[in-house]
Amino acid sequence: MNKLNHVAFIMDGNGRWGKKRKKGRNFGHLNGVKTVKKIVRSSIQLNIPVVTFYVFSTENWKRPKSEINFLFSLIINYFKNELKNVIANGIKIHIIGKINTLPTKIKKTLKEAIKLTKRNKKIIVNLAINYGSKDEIISASNKLKKRINVKSLENNLYTKNIPNPDILIRTGGHKRLSNFMLWQLAYAEIFFLDKLWPDFNNQDFKKIIKKFKKEKRNFGSI
């Protein structure tokens, strides 16, 4: 049975979910946060050491400013209201992405969350914010002055010291990676779901894990 160390999520479909209910894209993002909370709780119960959520990509800056501001306010308000619970539940917050180029308020919020949860050991919750995998790989390569190899490059990625994902789950019906963890997902089992992210639930999650545990993983061998 396969050991599960890391599950990554592309949380697609929030905006469409809100628009389907005639309440707008931001309503979908608001409900998407509720799904994240459910999945983190479930991951703790299932003893999954690491989960990663694709929150905001480097390409998402092309979205309307009002939507970007709403997304950032969601993150800020989440940590303002939930940080005590995050700490109490043993959750360690880790950010992958260009955190230092974010607006001051969200940057300060994220850095505080990282600082106050750094000793927690129950689960690592990676938030990919202002993240693009191509940029990550180029940045890691530029740090290396000597010959590049797999180990040296991996030691300069945002995810150094974190196991690569065993599973990628993408909701929303699209079958693409969208510049997300292109290096780290080399041997991940990938599950694409038509269901929109706010509708994704613990039953869906457990069904995927059950399939993963039965999968024969060869990693290039036979």
* Active-site amino acid positions: 12, 60
DSSP string over 107-134? HHHHHHHHHHHTT--SEEEEEEEEE-HH
**CA–CA separation, 151 vs 120, rounded Å?**
27
Q: Report which of 143, 142, 199 is spatially closest to residue 18, judged by C-alpha positions.
A: 199
Classify 151 as helix, strand or coil: helix
Which positions ≥6 away from 16 have C-beta within 8 Å?
Answer: 28, 172, 196
Tell me the residue type at 117: T
Rounded (5°) CA angle 209-211-213: 70
